[in-house]
Homo-oligomer: A and B are copies of this chain.
Amino acid sequence: MDAPASNLERPRFDRIEYTTVAEQVRDRLMDSIRDGYFLPGSQLPAERQLCEEFGVARTSVREAIQQLVSLGVVQRKSSRLHVVDYLGVVSSPAAGHEREIRELFETRRVIEISMTGLAAQKATDRTRAEIACLSEGFDSDVELSQFRDQDHHFHAAIATACGNPLLAELYGRVLRALFESPAFAALLYTQINRASVQEIIKNSAEHHRRIASAIVDGDSKIASIAAGDHLAEVERRMLSQLI
């Protein structure tokens, strides 16, 4: 049998980068610290606990911890593991963060406004009801961590309702990038900003109800406008903390 005449012209294969278990553990721990699950100075789980959760040997965990110690992220104190008291690069609100946050919100705008309009057009009765229900669940006085959870579910429901899995996935990436951004985390978790954050939560509850209402009515134009208004408001309030 002759080989077929036409294959796609293939690119050269990329080199394979070998990632050790210890490196993966290190990165996971770094991510969780950056995400705010372990604040500066706080204690990390014991090595044996980490072994059990990650499903790896203790030597691998110790290797990862040692790397984090070398990076200045973790210290061994009183026979316990702690995040260092002062994190330099991981969470300092420095210059350039405004730009990063602006880009994240701009990207959100590009995707979210159109996607919300699509959701208003294409949602099924069931997803419309679900979005309405989720929007009613936002309480102005809720705790930040609970708000984040509800916010995630609300926006995920809208992304699903737009009926385009690729778009929904891309949007998920953008939201993740925003919430994993050190700049954003710094704003959310710095003690100074607690009152402002509470204000954003209160404000968002109302905006979410407006978006949901437009989606339920199938009005894609109003839904898009509501999404744009919401984003503009959140961005304005977040960025006013940086100036």
Q: CB-CB < 8 A to A118: which residues of B?
A: 106, 110
B25 pairs with A8, CB closer than 8 A: no
Q: Which of A32, A35, A164, A189 neighbours the largest number of chain B CB atoms within 10 Å of its CB?
A: A164
Does A79 touch B at the CB level, under 8 Å?
no
Interchain CB contact under 8 A, A3 and B164: no
Complex contact B164–A107 (CB within 8 A): yes
Interface segment, one of A38-46, A131-139, A195-203, A235-243: A38-46
A-B contact pairs, 22 of them (CB 8 A): A1-B41, A1-B85, A3-B42, A3-B43, A3-B82, A6-B189, A7-B36, A7-B39, A13-B53, A13-B54, A14-B28, A15-B55, A16-B24, A16-B56, A103-B164, A103-B165, A103-B167, A106-B164, A107-B166, A111-B170, A114-B114, A170-B170
